[in-house]
Amino acid sequence: MVLCIGPESSGKTLLLKKIQDPNYVDNTTTAIPTVGTNILNLKIEDKIYTIREIGGSLASIWSKYFENVGKVMYVIDASNLCQISAAGVLLYTVVAHPLLKNARFLIVLTKMDSSYRQMRNEALLMLQMKRLQREIQQKITIIEASAINGLGRNDILKWIVES
Ligand SMILES: Nc1nc2c(ncn2[C@@H]2O[C@H](COP(=O)(O)OP(=O)(O)O)[C@@H](O)[C@H]2O)c(=O)[nH]1
Ligand SMILES: [Mg+2]
C-alpha cells in the first residue's frame, strides 16, 4: 500500500488523477479538499497498486493509516512559500513514526509549473532535507512534478513500481 499525504491543498488529488490518466485535464472551478481518504487503484504493467490519499486536515490522525504501508508519497506545494517549512515539520513527525521505519519515502515538489515555484534547492533547504537525510535511515527520493503539464509523472510511476 502506498500512502499519499501532505498538507491541505498541496496538490495530492490532482496529481494522483494525472498519474492515473496522463490526459487528465482539470476543469473544475472549485477544488474540494479531500475530507477523509481516497483510494485509487493504479494498473501498471498488469499489476495493481493501491494508493490511499489522506486529506491534510486529518494530519493529526494520519498515523492511524500507517499500518502495512510500504511507501509514503509526501506531496508538497512548491509554489506556496508559507507552506513549505510547515510541510517539513510535519514530514519529520511522519518519518520518525515507528510503523514507517522500513518505508520508502517519496517527496514530491509539485506545482512546478507555477511561476511562484521555489527552485528545487531552495525548497530542499527550507525542508532541511540534508539534516533529515542524515538523521534517518529510510531512503528518500525527491521528484519535481506538476499535475498541469505532467512533469515527473514517469518518475513517480517508476518509484511506485520499484521495490
Ligand atoms: N498550478 C498548479 N496548480 C495545482 C497543481 N496541482 C494542484 N493544483 C491546484 O491546487 C489546488 C489543490 O489541489 P488538490 O489536488 O485538491 O490538493 P489536495 O488537497 O492536496 O488534494 C487546486 O486548486 C488545484 O487546481 C499543479 O501541479 N499546478
Ligand atoms: Mg485531496
Q: Output the domain CATH number for residue 26.
A: 3.40.50.300
- When pLDDT is averaged across residues 26-35 and rounded to a whole number, the result is 69
> What pLDDT score was predicted for residue 34?
67
- Which of the two residues, 158 and 55, has the higher pLDDT score? 158
Alpha helices in 23-152 (DSSP H): 81-95, 120-126, 129-135
> What pLDDT score was predicted for residue 25?
85
Spatial distance between the Cα atoms of 63 and 58, rounded to a whole number of angstroms: 10
> What pLDDT score was predicted for residue 152?
98
Tell me which ligand sits closest to the C-alpha of residue 144. 1
> What pLDDT score was predicted for residue 143?
98
- Average pLDDT of the residues of the chain: 92
Nearest CA to ligand 1 atom 19: 9
- Which of the two residues, 136 and 163, has the higher pLDDT score? 136
Which helix (H) or strand (E) element contains residue 155? helix 153-161
Cβ–Cβ < 8 Å for 80, 127:
no
The residue behind cell 510541510 is: 87
- When pLDDT is averaged across residues 56-76 and rounded to a whole number, the result is 93
- When pLDDT is averaged across residues 97-119 and rounded to a whole number, the result is 96
Nearest CA to ligand 1 atom 14: 11
- When pLDDT is averaged across residues 87-109 and rounded to a whole number, the result is 96
115 C-alpha vs ligand 1 centroid, how far in Å?
Answer: 14
**pLDDT > 70: percent of the chain:** 95
Residue 13: CB atoms within 10 A of its CB come to: 21
Give yes or no for residue 149 CB within 6 A of ligand 1. Answer: no
- How many domains is the chain built from? 1
Residue 71 is which amino acid?
Answer: K
Q: Given pLDDT bands bounded at 50, 70 and 90, which one contains residue 29? A: low
Spatial distance between the Cα atoms of 11 and 2, rounded to a whole number of angstroms: 16
> What pLDDT score was predicted for residue 36?
77
| Res. 28: pLDDT tops 80 | no
- Angle CA 7–23–71, to nearest 5: 40
Tell me which ligand sits closest to the C-alpha of residue 10. 1
Residue 109 is which amino acid?
Answer: L
| Res. 32: pLDDT tops 70 | no
The whole domain housing 13 covers 2-161
Give yes or no for residue 113 CB within 6 A of ligand 1. Answer: yes
